[in-house]
Amino acid sequence: MTKEILENDPYKLAGVDIEAGEDLIKKIKNDVASTHGKNVIGNIGGFAGMFKLPKEFQNPILVACTDGVGTKVALAQEFGDLHGIGQDLVAMCVNDLIVCGAKPLFFLDYYATSKLNVREASIVIKSIADACIDSGCSLLGGETAEMPGHYKDNNFDLAGFSVGCVEEEKVILSEKVSSENILIGIESSGPHSNGFSLIRKVLDNFKGSEVIKREMIKKALVPTYLYPTVILNILKKYKINSISHITGGGLLENLPRSIPMHLSAEIDSQSWQMPEIFEWIKNEGNVLQKDMYRIFNCGIGMVLVVSEEYVGDILNEISSNKFNGYVIGKVKDKNQEESVIFK
């Protein structure tokens, strides 16, 4: 293709650079390939990804999730730190899969932008690939879209899609929960990917030290923890009755999704220390503690509901996987309207 044709390319003049897309594919090809195992069929660059179900499953149930990173993307782009955003995207999906007991199989991403910045996109997709490896799944495919006029000022957004598998008899359902079951919380890395509209507002209104502001931004942008490996390791040895991924809606709205309606979760609010980033948001934003529990994970990224006999062993397993775990409460018969009670 001659230089003259390139310079007069009508699509490029409209704001879409096909060459940049081709350059991105070249840059990310090795990262994507590094996630592929023997179950991936075909080559990178086809119209669809193909995946052969592992023979380990006798009665497979497929589990699918989709999610995004929300306005954490805007904060990361504004402050020039995109290295963890891809992990955030993968985590928000595979952490939902593991709630059902499903092993992540593969992941796909959608990257939409006003103007493709190859360097930024390759950083994000490398982060996605690394997170897929850590989660034991393949980056099976993806899509990059330039949409000038829709996205403004070089902004971009992300969406992720993941599929996992679990044996039919091992599906984790909330109906297995009973009164006096113990609630084990696994630490979060920070806000994960929730509450960033409020976080950004608090940052915009903050009039204090620039050093403190930068430190809080750094803490807010820590990537979301990936929980599939630690939970799958627990499930190999011990029974988990139910799991709650503490995402948007915090402890107040996510815990009721993982216990039957006739039961409640009693939380000991002194059983773990709320990390500094949350205390800062609470104080600087004048946010009530109840609203903190409704908006943020407040330091607990995942809650396991287990029988008392397994508590010590599960806590040891969590620790051996380099996470902190806490007994944060109990399941009780519901004797009032609230499904989650803090004490």
Please name which of 91, 99, 101 lies closest in space to residue 137, comparing C-alpha atoms: 91
Q: Is 249 left (phi over 0), alpha (psi -120 to 50) or beta?
A: left
Closest CA to 133 of 31, 244, 14: 31
- pLDDT score of 10 more than 70: no
Give the separation between CA 113 and CA 156, rounded to whole angstroms.
Answer: 4
Is residue 243 within 8 A of residue 231, CB to CB? The reply is yes
pLDDT higher than threshold 80 for residue 249: yes
Domain boundaries 3-170, CATH class:
alpha beta
Distance (Å, whole) CA 107 – CA 54: 16
Entry pTM? 0.92
Closest among 212, 168, 201, 185 to 71, alpha carbons compared = 201
Q: Answer yes or no: is pLDDT of 51 > 50.
A: yes
Residue 71 and residue 200 in contact, taking contact as beta carbons nearer than 8 Å = yes
pLDDT of residue 1: 47
170-206: pLDDT as tens digits: 999 999 999 999 999 999 999 999 999 999 999 999 9
Residue with token string 């509901």: 305
Look over the chain and give the mean of its residue pLDDT values, rounded to a whole number: 92
**CATH number for the 174-342 domain, one of 3.10.520.10, 3.30.70.20, 2.40.180.10, 3.90.650.10?**
3.90.650.10
pLDDT band of residue 5 (cuts 50, 70, 90) is very low
Model pLDDT for residues 286-320, shown as the tens digit of each residue: 999 999 999 999 999 999 999 999 999 999 999 99
Per-residue pLDDT reduced to its tens digit, 69-88 = 999 999 999 999 999 999 99
DSSP of 131-173: HHHHHT-EEEEEEEEE-BTTB-TT-EEEEEEEEEEEEGGG---
The full set of domain ranges for the chain reads 3-170, 174-342
The string of pLDDT tens digits covering residues 21-42 is: 677 777 678 877 888 889 999 7
Could you say which DSSP state residue 51 is in?
A: E
Residue 323: per-residue pLDDT = 98
* Predicted pLDDT of residue 283: 97
pLDDT over 70 for what percent of the chain? 93
158 has pLDDT over 60: yes
Q: What pLDDT, in 10s, does the model give residues 87-133?
A: 999 999 999 999 999 999 999 999 999 888 899 999 999 999 999 99
Write out pLDDT tens, residues 220-242: 999 999 999 999 999 999 999 99
